[in-house]
Structure 1
Amino acid sequence: MKKKLLFSGPGETVNKIKKLLNESKDMVLDNDLLGSFEEMCENLESQLKNAKVETANLSVKNKENKESKILEKQIQEEREIFNNIMEVIGAGLCLIDKDSKIIWANDTLNDWLNLEESPVGSHCSGIYHCNVVGTDKCPATQVRKGKESHIIESWITTKTKKRMCIQHIAIPIAGKDGEVENILLLTVDVTESEKLVHRLLLLQQFGEVTQGTLHLDKLLHLILTCITADYSFGFNRAMLFLINKELNVLNGKLAIGPSSTEEATRIWKEMSSRHNSLLDIVDNLDYSHNIDTPLNTMTKLMVYSLADADEVVTICTKEKKPVIVKDAAKDTRVSDEFRKALGVNEFVCVPLIAKNEPIGVIVADNAYTAEPISEDRINTLTMFVNQASLAIENAETYKSLEDKINQLTETQQRLIRSEKLAAIGSMSSYVAHEIRNPLVTIGGFAKTLSRFTFTNSKIKANIDIIIEEVKRLEKILNNITDFSKPSKPEKVDTQVCVIMENTCMLLENYFQEKHIKLQKRYETGIPEIPVDPAQIKQVFLNILMNAVESMPDGGALDVNIESEKKSIKIYIRDTGKGIQSGVLQNIYDPFFTTKESGTGVGLSVSLKIIEDHGGTIDAISKHGKGTTMVLTLPKK
């Protein structure tokens, strides 16, 4: 009977066959033994076939795994090469889907846009902070419609606080059906090229704009604003010094720039959103806010003698060429005082040259971005400053000419006024003389008649009226006589505060009667000046009386005396009715008055006295808001 044999593998089957052969040695081959051999061989053949198939399958699988690993490695290497290429070319890449949502972005874009988290899954408008999504100005919208991409340009601040101008370009990525499935946004740094273009355009625009800009302060602000504007030269701060030829010094005139990094960021953001060209700046230029900034105040206090050959700004003006300071701490041309004032280690000085003569210097730095100052930027800055120098000289020449014209006009007006006063004085003197004699007679007879007793009370009343009117006419004649007298001032060194104090004491009862609250402020250390005390007292008296008469219901009267560099200023302020603008220009005309009982000669006399002393009188008034009279008397 055939025996059933079980075998687990080819090796075991071979061993069983060997064992069976050893056991059946010298035995007759019967059917059972032959059956066992046949079964073993069949089993071995089946196992060998299975092993061959398994071996073949294993070989294929191993080959596929090996090829997969090779392919994966190649993909990884290509991806690294792609990323390296993107880093080398310095481009930001972003892949967006049909809904404008980001599905991939490279590290460069994350750094440029200062992203704290991965932008994947966000809408592109939230990353780029643009307001053109869905409009024809959007690059992605353009390419979806099959049109050429529209370039969007904007200014950003990177993680490293660097100010950059970037452009966004959309590239369509089509699927197998030819439809645009995704869009690749390419973001390119065009800061330097864009600034260079703007700087060259700025030179042309500046020449056109400054032809009509003759106001020196406005021009200086315009120049420094151009130097610190993002789209032009983009310096963080700029300081301007001008030469004072009379004193042979370099004076700080103006500075523009923030006082902190936070303020710098805010200003740059405002500038980039409001101003895109020089014309925008000219139209919106407001230089009043810059007056009290710490940088501007510090600059105006900086004065350097042109005889000092060891200071960087004076060296720049003498050599008439730019001076680049890379390491202020070690540069012997920079004094400790100047280095501490600027607080930076790298800056540039560019001379202002007009007609081959230095007129000043501009100092610029990058105190907050610490961006290196390149040679190219200095070259274009020098071209701009040369053009600015001519504009400054033109403005100064115009101002000098304007001052001379004003002086000539003022001299002419004084001459006309003097001739007018002389003619009026001669006539008034004659009229006063002719009226005085009969007036004295009338007054004398009226006083004599007043001593008699009349039964008719009306006669007594009429005589009293005659006496009062005669007194009023005598007062008018005295004013006219004072006006017509061509007396010259007899000047002696006098303290004007003492004259004012004596005048106020003389009017003390009058102030109380009219309910006037007097406040006096005299600056300490006011020197004596050469004046005629009697005439100046008359001026003070006239102006104080006018101030009280403008406050019929009482009010406040402030007297303030200050010392300036070349003059003494006397301010007399009241809270009265004020003077209408149409009347203000006529208040110094002889016999012009708005008072019911005034003669109109008080201010005319006062003006003549002050002008004889080499001074001026100015009236500042607003109807219903009071009046301020400003008297200026020159020092020795």
Structure 2
Amino acid sequence: MPVHIIVMVELISSDEILHPASGKLLDDDEIIVIVDDSPEIVVLLQAYLKKHNLRSTPARSAAELFELITTYHVALVLLDIGLPDRDGTEILSELTENYPDLGVIMVTSTTDIHVALDCLRRGADDYLTKPVNIELFYHSVTQTLKKRRLAIENRMFQQELQLNNLRTLFLHHLNLKINSVYLDARELNKVLQAILIGITSNEGLKFNRAFLALFDAEETLLKGELAIGPGNHQEAQKVWDEIQVKDLKLQDLFSYIGTSLAGKDVIVNEIVRSLAIPAENSSHPLVHACRSRKSILVEHGAAAVDIPAELIATLGEDSFVIVPLYSPRRALGVIIADNFVTKQPIQKTDVEALELLAGQASLAIEHSTLYADMQAKINELELVTLELEESKDLLVEAERYAALGQMSAQLVHAIRNPITSIGGTSRLLSKRFDDEKARKFLDVLIKETEKVEATLNDLFSFVSEYEPQKSVQPLFPLIRRSVMLFYTIMKRQQITYSLDFYGADPLIEMDSEKIRQVFLHLIRNGIEAMPDGGTLTLSSYQDNSSVVVSISDTGGGVSDGELEHVTDPFYTTKIYGTGMGLTLVDQILGQHEASFALIPNDDRGTTATITFNNMAAT
């Protein structure tokens, strides 16, 4: 009886045998290929496989088999040895070498044990001889498919385990970088680049693109800062080509990032820099994610919150995930990731892994912010020390001049009236005496009196009035330097001070030395008004036409009656005061077309205000 008739009998006689369900042995796009030049056998095997929900297709030659392999996802080959164009054992060797995930069962009429062993050595999963026992055939097919699926899943698990190990190692290096280096702006940028590459790398989270947006220092604007990934489909894999050539791993990225990546990903960085959302726009998904501290998954333009069409148009993608960056103190920004090229759906596990990296990014940003704050405090202390060192001689000289000014004013005040009387009387007597000898003595007295008056005038002009040497200069540094001169005195008297300067540093046309004298006088007055401690506050605000500087103390204050005379020469409320300080202030500010006022505070103390012309208005 012909072989194919025997096979037919075997199959028909076994139709009543019950078999367990085949289960999910094939994926939806996978098939089994029956390679045999006998149409009757192919028809019977196809019918049996179809009965058990196993899709199959025939191939009558080796050429047809390889064409099917390149066209379809072939899971299993039922291979006959005797084919018209090639020997089945040669085909077997080629299949096992080039397609390791392919299952191969030899179904042949050759019963030679040596041939069977040779096929198994070449990689065949089983060897069945015709006529085929149907139960043995079904068992061999299902076991081969199960073994194949287990092998594929095992390899996938190993790859996933390896990827998880690489990610863990990357996070370890990331933590070491964050915890072992003070993150200035440059170092922070490198860490953030590494995180974005970790998000988009094949060894990382495998997203196609990643965008970073951060709040500005005032937390008023959420602005795009950095992005990595192809800007269009033609640029896909450009980022990784160079890295793969150098065989770099994730943990090597910190030494690689910098100039080597400069100028790359121009398109995505243009996209991210176009993102600018006001912080007050709480309904925008990027701001909403920050404020709520919850991730938002957008699928085909739909999400738990409304997604603006402009955002989708800007990104050029309608499926992406938004993950917030935040610290215990404040919201920091967001990371946006998508699969712009592959269009792979974003899974929940992808979002969770991205949230893990976002936590590291948040830690790095907060670390950098704290470092910047600390550095600012150090710089301020260094500035105080430098100012004190450079200005201690100037302060001593200023105090000496102040003492000399006190003495000069007291001398002028005490001597001017008697000398004026002596001089006037001498001139009057000189006109009435005819005695030449007496007039000679009176002339001497008149001349010497004039000398004393001239000396007193020179002494009165101790603070000489010269033409101011004006130039356009920033105002705030001058105020800071003036305050620093009194740092030690304020500390000794337990006086705290604050500088509340807002907005851009105003430019003022001024003689810096004369305006410095103004601030020194007013700051000294405020300190002297608080012998038992208090608070000295220097603040500034500006509008289109003027710049106003206020110096406020918490001392005893000045009465309304005293305010009327504060700029009068020699008027003073101090026991040893000269009464010339505020007169000089008023005089200098007049030379600068500026105004000056003293205002009593509502609770206690006094506020001195100086109003300059705003150069920005001109």
TM-score (norm 1): 0.42
TM-score (norm 2): 0.43
Structure 1 or 2, whichever has the larger Rg, is 1
